[in-house]
Structure formats: structure tokens, C-alpha cells
Structure 1
Amino acid sequence: MTSKLLCAAFILAALTLSITFSLQPDQQKVLLVSFDGFRWDYLYRVPTPHFHYVMKYGVHVKQVTNIFITKTYPNHYTLVTGLFAENHGIVANDMFDPILNKSFSLDTMNIYDSEFWEEATPIWITNQKAGHTSGAAMWPGTDVKIHESFPTHYMLYNESVSFEERVAKIIEWFTSKEPINLGLLYWEDPDDMGHHLGPDSPLMGPVISDIDNKLGYLIQMLKKANLWNTLNLIITSDHGMTQCSEERVIELDQYLDKEHYLLIDQSPVAAILPKEGKFDEVYEALAHAHPNMTVYKKEEIPERWHYKYNTRVQPIIAVADEGWYILQNKSEGLMLGNHGYDNALAEMHPIFLAHGPAFRKNFTKAAMNATDLYPLLCHLLGIPALPHNGSLSSVQDLLRPTAPRTVTHTQSPPPHHDTYCPVKYQQVFT
């Protein structure tokens, strides 16, 4: 072979090798952000320039159907497992497991019992088993030891820690010597203020504007860290919010002796555990008690809710119509905004926006299911998805056309786990 032919052969081989590597994208990085209780139409309630900036240069899904019940813990676990509540086991914010003979409640903070979480495997564990590292800033469940694992880096939950401090830790983890490829970031509002004010209150305008400013801060910090154009940012929520009032209250004490049952979970889906021998009495007393409350025996719960095939779903559930409250009596008090209602209701639907190298630009999609996020995340991260209730094909059109990706399995030592106990620091952005 002549020197010219040999040189040409080397050049051709180099080009072929270059093309081959270019078809295998660099390790995708994903940051998943949840603004708790951000209803889909808050985007249009007041000017939200930072949300619309993401929509213009990324993708937006108009209708996201979350799972029943439309509460925080069930839906946040769905987002990271792709499972309905009856399959992942976090069926409510307050639960009782008759097999474990244990309770789970936000009020008593016994949510750290691993046994409640281990009917599913969240994505950070799958990501770490594939040899990668994860970081979580307050995402529900990430400070719980699940299947003997925590995220590689995580923050112990503390609602007093500022959004800016949470962002700082996420940025630190993405830019460290051993960077994470998966980050999860959670913020409590506008849910907290939506409960307090009610979503129809004009005072919600400044709350929504504040969330938009927080998103702007996140974008600014990602750009400063040279992550904005290399990281796939997904912005979503767990549920929406609807307006309630003192005129729309159903008091169980008017129909039922409180000594005959335990109220496991409250409004708007009252989970009722009758005392021994009192099932029929309790059911008959409630079945037609109020026109704005539908009462189901467990086996009669509608299939479309995917909610009855789990031992933590109580023998009787009472579901309030939208905007109605179920209380034992009015002395318990109520919130002006609430969620948890039928997931078919528009007011319960959250948001979905995304931006990054994997996503199309200025693209709007009509609808998706919250369960579809999990297979999308696994696809972006190049990790195998565990069995789930979602569909990657349903959200494939959000992505830019690329060469087929091959999921690779790598062996590496298990990553070191650390716990970050946050402290206050001076905010650098307002």
C-alpha cells in the first residue's frame, strides 16, 4: 500500500471512529424540579416570563394527568417510579398498613419507616446501581433509606432551608470532581400558600410571581455554572389546587358514631377503617349521607383510579366532590385551598416543561400521564427502566431525533453516601 493510500485509510478510519462516537451521546445529565401544588393554569394567571422562556426554548405539555389520590407523597413517588399508587404503595400522605400494623403520617413524621417505601424502587437507586451518582435537595422520600440505599448526596428535609441554598447544593453536586448525573430539587410553594389563601385569591398572584423568580434564579445559576446548555432540566409538579369554603363542609359526626371507626386519612378522600364488626353499620350510615360525597367499598373503587389493589387502601373510602371538605366536625378547621380530588379534574393537573440538549425547542404537546415521566428519565439517563405503568412512546415526540441509544451497564464501586445538614447563609439573589 502506498503512503498516500495508507494515509487515506487512516483518515477514513479516524472519520469512521469519530462518527461512531458522535452517535453515542455524552452522558446525559438530568435535573428534575418540582414546585409543589403548581397548577397548570398558574402559568397564565400572572406574567411568568421565566416559565415562558423555558417553553420558548424547550417543550411544554398542556395537560398532565397525575395519579389518584392527587396528593404530595403519592404523586412524587409516582414521578420517580412510574407506578400508580396501588403499585408503589404510597397511597396517601397518611396511611395504615394492616399487615405491618404500622401507621405513616406527615403529622407524626414516622414517614422514615423504610417498609412503607419498599414496594417500589425509585430512580435514584436504579441510577446508582448502573454506576452513576445522584443528588437530592429535599425531594420527598430521598432522605429515607429505601432498599438499604440513600441517594449519593442528599439533604435532610427542612422546610426552612431557602430555595437558593437548595440550588447551591444541586449546582455543587453537578460540578464536583465526581459529578452527579441525576439531580432532584423540591420546593414547597405554591402549595403552602395555595392551602392558606385558596387558588382563586388575588393574593396568589405574588406567590406565583415569586415561583417564577425562583425559576429565573435557577436558570441564572445553571448558566453561571455552564450547565444550562448541557443539562436536561425538567420542571413539573405533583398536583393542582381547588378553592374550598366553610359553606362546603361534610361533617362525619352528623352521620356516624366516631367510636365505630378510625379516620386514617382525611379530606377530600376520607380513608375509613371500621372497628371490628362495624363495617356494615359504617357503610350504610355513609353510603347516601350527603349528595356531594361518594362512598365506596374498597372492591367498588373505580378501576380508572388504579387505587384498590393495595392493603393500605382502607375498606371504605369517601370521596368529596370538587371544592367540598370532609371533616369529623367543623372544630377541626379547614384550608381555603385543597387537593386530593379526582385526577380527571383539570384543577388537579400539574405542569410539565423541559429544556436541554435532548429536548425539542418551542414544542407544545397536548397531553401526557405523570407515569410517563419515569421511562423518559430512564431513557435520558441511559439506565434500564424497572416495570412501570408509563409509556416512553407517549412522550418520545418531546425529544429531538437522534441516533438510537444503547443502554450500557457498567461495573463500579458503590458510591460514597453523605448527608448534608443545611445551615442558613446569606441569600445572593432576590
Structure 2
Amino acid sequence: KNWACDFCAVSYLSMKRLSSLLLLLILLKPFTCHPAGRNEKEMGSNKLLLVSFDGFRWNYDQDVDTPNMDLLVKQGVKAKYITPPFVTMTSPSHFTTITGRWIEDHGVIHNLMFNPETLRKFSHKATQNKTEWWDNGVLPLWITAQNQGKKTASFHYPGGGATYKGQSVDRTLVESFDHPDSNETEWRENIDMVMSWFTKENFDFVTLYYGEPDQVGHRKGPETEDRKIIIQQIDRTIGYLVEAIEKHNLKNKLNVIITSDHGMTTVKKKPEVQEILLSNYIKFSNLVKFDILDYGGFGMITPKVGKEEELYQALKNAHPHLKVYKKEEFPEHFHYAKHERVLPILVYGDPGYSVNGRFILYVNKGDHGFDNEDMDMKTIFRAFGPDFKENYLAEPFDSIHIYPLMCKLLGINPQPNNGSLEFTQKMLIDTSQPEPNILLTAIILSAIAAVLVLIFLSSVTYTAIQRKKGLKKDHRKAMKNPPSSSTML
């Protein structure tokens, strides 16, 4: 009876100690888990800012001191590079990013809006309010998000000034014709305004566009000190953006994607090379009805009636660095030529060879519009925020895959698109799995609990054995010294 009581007492004390230690571990758990705000909310509850720096080639930050971009590599995601769609121009590429569709699907096939019947052409900036150029049945992310309860805005982003199936972006600012591209003070003011949209007016999704380093790349060339200087300005602006996010208490609420539309390459000029001048090989007045030429490395031509074959034959072997195709024979991997707006004859030069028409008037020292597989046409991808992993290097991917990623971040159902989350999913924190520090905490707690249980069992077992030994000893002693008859009486 005494042994049983002692055993129960020991068990009770051991269990009490075990319970106390487990309670202590539970109370300590919040201090060993991940920082608040990092992953508590479901994907889609955070805001999103898409920033585009026009013409930012994939390696522009590799020969310049860029401390802020370098810091983002540690604090977020960097892709080795991304591949823009063909044709590598501003409006077509930006619209691919915001729709996730190839250019032949969304129909914004060039920077210029044109009509081969009326022979009219509109410049890049003149198209920004032209709904008839942008609205081809494909909804950009602004409208899709708005239709699912989100509030969106466009700050100078190409396509933001149009309406789509009668719907406008909730708020849009369109670049003026004389808008300065490189005013650093204005760049910061734009960031301040966007931050106020997020904090004071509760916008969910904003696109922000900057015209550099494209302009410097065109005017001065991509391999110049001027280009390096503008990259340093961009880096300072990114640093200012990070500070503004913290200042407005958006660090745990705002995801940011920084990308671009295309790269840039040095234009090859005589006497170093024989430039491409189509008038050396064809007589425009006899063969050409309408053309989009003298616009970098790519062009299109509408032949006069009955002249298509003659025009094609005259150009197809005209210059060793000129590619010439009929529309129906254009390489399918470009995902470009199937749209009805594409003209019957397509031409593009090898990297650096601009396609000139009647005269060589082109003065740019850098250009784009070339094959999107050329490394000089590749561009950047950076991302950071509460839903992105830190210090994560992603493999290269096509820019069409940014669209489904943004839909995932915003928690909305995407429109039909050519992209896939397969290429970007791994850069996101997996909310269905514990983060490494949470997993480590769970392992430690489990290990400690297991040790305590073993101690408890060992203690109980040891006590039981000792009590049993004590009883046997007492029994043997009693047998050796039996009580006297007088005592028994």
C-alpha cells in the first residue's frame, strides 16, 4: 500500500513538472516564430506595385555601383534575366506584361498606331489615349482586378489611358508629349504620390512607368558613361522607394515588382559596317503602298496590288544582315505575325543593324526591336515584399509569366493568358508550408517534449524498481528475524 502511494506521488510530481515545462514552451513559442506580418495573411490580401524602367537591359547594373539594387537581391527575388516578347518595343512589350498575352493575341503590334488604308501614323505618345489601338478584346490586369473588387491606378504606364470594353482604369495619368524622362526630383514626387494612393485612398494595384534608361540608351548608346550615370540615378530612386515604403508603414502590406520592356544594343554605322538601306534594292514608288520603317531593327511593308512576290524576291537576299519574311512564313516562335494588323512583308535586322527605308535619317546610337533571343534585348526582374522569398535567384523566364504572378499576388482570377505560375511560383513564400524558422521551432519543441516524456517514464520506472527492491529487502530481513512468540502474542 505504501509503495503504491509513493508511486502515485512520484507520478503526480513528474506530470506536474512536465506540464509546467510544456506550458513554458508554449508561452515562449511566439518569440521564436517568424516576424509578424510576414506570412500570417492569405495570398492576395497585400497590395501590389509594378514599376517599369523602360529599356533597362539585364546587365546594366553590373558595371555600375548600385547599392540599393544589390540590397534588394538579399531582401527579395532576382531573376537572372527575363525575355521580352517580339517585337522588342515599348508598347507591345508593356501590354504583354499587363495582359500575359503574346503580341499576336493582344494586337498592340508596334509603338506606332497606323492605318495602311488611310496611310496615317501616330507616334508612340500620341497612341496612349487611343482606345482603338489598345482595346482589341483582351483585358489588362487593371480592369480584371477592378471587376473583382480591387482598386487600381496607372501612372504613365503604356495602355493605362485607354478604355477596355467601356471600362477605364480607376485612376490614370498619361505622359504628355513634352514630359521630361530623367528629372530625378519628379521621379521621387511620383513615388510619394503613389504611396499616398496606397495609404490614403486604399488602392490595391498601381503601375508606375519611367522612360529611362531608354532615352539615354537611344541618344548616347548603351555602353557609355551617360548610361552608367542614369543607372545610378535609377538605383537612388529604388532606394528612395524602399524608404518611402517603410515611412508609410507598407513594408508588410506591399509587394513590389521592378522590371522593364526590353534591352538595348549599340547601332552599327558606316564606315564600320554596310548599313541596311532598302532603297538600294527596291524602288518604293513602284512596289510599296505603305510602310513602317526607320524605326529601329524592325519594319513592315504593304506592297502595291500584285507586287508582293516581286517585293519579297527583291529584298530576301538583299543584305547579309537583313531577315525578310512573308507574313504567313514568319517564324511561329515569335508569336507575332498571326494578328490581322501585321502587314504582308516583315523585315528585321541582325542586332545593331537598323532597317532604313528611303534614306538613312536615323541618328540613334542605341536601339531595340531586334530578335528577343539576343542577349542585348533581355531585361530585368526584381521583386520584394511580404509574399516574396528573400535572397532568391530565379532562373530566366519570359515576361508573359509576370501576369499570372501578379494575379496570384492580388488574389484574383486571371483572364485567359499565355503565362504560367510554374516559372514564378518558387519565388513566393509557400503559405501552405511552415517557414524554416517555424519548422525549426516545431522540431525543437517536439524534441524537448520527447525528452521530458522520457525523463518522466524513466523517473517512474526507476522509482518503481527501487520501491520493489526495498520491499524484497524488507521481506528477506523479516524472514531472517521472525518475531518471537511473546511478540506475536
Give yes or no for TM over 0.5.
yes
Q: State how 1:125-204 maps to structure 2 within 5 Å.
A: 125-158=143-176, 159-160=179-180, 162-176=186-200, 178-204=201-227
Matched, 1:366 2:389: no
Quick one: which amino acid aligns to residue 235 of structure 1? Answer: I
Offset from partner CA, 1:7-49 (integer Å, 9 cap, x none): xxxxxxxxxxxxxx95635722100000000001012120111
Change (3 A) 1:111 1:302: same
Aligned length: 382
Aligned counterpart, 2:64: 46
Code of the aligned partner of 1:227: L
* Contact in 2 for aligned 1:234/1:355 (Cα 8 Å): yes
- Report the counterpart of residue 113 of structure 1 in structure 2: 130
2:169 is paired with a residue of what secondary structure?
coil
Partner deviation per Cα, 1:66-113 (whole Å, 9 max, x = no partner): 100011001000000000100000111124456x96856325814432
Q: TM-score, normalised by structure 1?
A: 0.85
Q: Matched residues, percent identical?
A: 37
Matches within 5 A, 1:77-116: 77-96=95-114, 105-106=122-123, 109-116=126-133
Tell me the secondary structure at the aligned position of residue 126 of structure 2. coil
Name the CA distance, whole Å, in 2 between partners of 1:54 and 1:108: 32
User: How do 1:54-93 residues align onto structure 2 when only pairs under 5 Å count?
Assistant: 54-93=72-111
Which amino acid in 2 is paired with 1:258? F
Aligned to 2:291: 263
Do 1:105 and 1:111's aligned partners in 2 also have CA atoms closer than 8 Å? Answer: no
Q: Does 1:254 align with 2:280?
A: yes
Unaligned ranges ≥5, structure 1:
1-20, 405-430
Q: TM-score, normalised by structure 2?
A: 0.75
Query: What SS does the aligned partner of 2:81 have?
Result: strand
Query: Corresponding residue for 1:10?
Result: none
* 2:307 maps to 1:278: yes
- Bigger mean CA offset, 178-187 vs 196-205: 196-205
Letter in 1 for 2:175: Y
What secondary structure is seen at the aligned counterpart in 1 of 2:420? coil
Answer whether contact 2:44 2:412 (CA < 8 A) is retained: no
Q: Using the alignment, how far apart are the partners of 2:344 and 2:71 within structure 1?
A: 47
The residue that corresponds to 2:237 in the other structure is: 214
Tell me the residue number matched to 1:351.
Answer: 380
Aligned pair in 2 of structure 1 residues 23, 226: CA closer, same or farther (>3 Å)?
closer
Q: Give the distance between the partners of 1:108 and 1:257, measured in 2 at CA.
A: 31
| Per-residue deviation, 1:358 | 0.5
Residue pair 1:136, 1:170 contacting (<8 A) in 2 also: no
SS in 2 for 1:332: coil
Q: Distance in 1 between matches of 2:198 and 2:58?
A: 29
Matches of 1:295 and 1:348, distance apart in 2: 20
- Deviation of 1:179 (Å): 0.5
Distance verdict in 2 for CA 1:97–1:375, change over 3 Å:
farther
* CA-to-aligned-CA distance 1:291-318 (integer Å, 9 cap, x gap): 0001000011111100111011110011
More moved, 33-42 vs 45-54: 45-54
Instruction: For 2:193, give the aligned amino acid.
Output: K
Contact kept, 8 Å, 2:351 with 2:370, in 1: the verdict is yes
| Structure 1 Cα separation of the partners of residues 89 and 44 of structure 2 | 36
Letter in 2 for 1:211: I
Give, in angstroms, the shift of residue 333 of structure 1: 2.5
Q: Does 1:205 align with 2:228?
A: yes
Kindly indicate whether the alpha-carbon contact (under 8 Å) linking 1:320 and 1:326 is maintained by their aligned counterparts in 2.
yes
Q: State the AA in 1 paired with 2:291.
A: L
Change (3 A) 1:108 1:368: closer
Q: Which amino acid aligns with 2:261?
A: D
Structure 1 ranges of 4+ moved more than 4 A: 100-104
- The secondary structure found in structure 1 opposite 2:276 is strand
Q: In the superposition, relative to structure 1, how do residues 289 and 57 fare at CA in structure 2: closer, same or farther (>3 Å)?
A: same
Query: Once the 2 structures are TM-superposed, how far is the Cα of residue 268 of structure 1 from its aligned partner?
Result: 0.8
> Structure 2: how far apart are the matches of 1:79 and 1:331?
33
Tell me the CA shift for residue 275 of structure 1.
1.7
Residue 358 of structure 1 aligns to which amino acid in structure 2? D
Equivalent position of 2:461 in the other structure: none
Please tell me the residue identity of whatever aligns with 2:321: N
Partner of 1:311: 340
The whole-number CA distance in structure 2 between the counterparts of 1:321 and 1:299 is 21
Judge conservation of contact 1:264–1:270 (CA < 8 Å) in 2.
yes
TM-aligned CA deviation for residue 51 of structure 1: 0.9
* SS of residue paired to 1:203: helix
SS in 1 for 2:61: helix
Of 286, 304, 326, 2:355 maps to 326
1:340 maps to amino acid? G
Cα distance, 1:235 vs structure 2: 0.4
Per the TM alignment, residue 116 of structure 1 is displaced from its structure 2 partner at its CA by 2.0
1:244 matched to 2:267: yes
Q: What amino acid maps onto 2:46 in structure 1?
A: Q
Distance 1:395 1:26 in 2: 16
Shift of residue 115, structure 1, vs aligned partner:
2.2
DSSP-derived class of the 1:174 partner: helix
Distance 1:323 1:153 in 2: 39
Q: CA deviation at 1:337?
A: 0.2
Q: CA RMSD in A?
A: 1.9
8 Å Cα contact 1:130-1:383 kept in structure 2: yes
CA distance, structure 2, for counterparts of residue 80 and residue 108 of structure 1: 18
Q: Which residue of 1 aligns with 2:249?
A: 226
Cα distance in structure 2, aligned partners of 1:39 and 1:334: 20
Q: Kindly name which structure, 1 or 2, has the bigger radius of gyration based on alpha carbons.
A: 2
Paired residues of 2:43 and 2:411 also in contact (CA < 8 A): no
Equivalent-residue separation in structure 2 for 1:385 and 1:292 (angstroms): 40
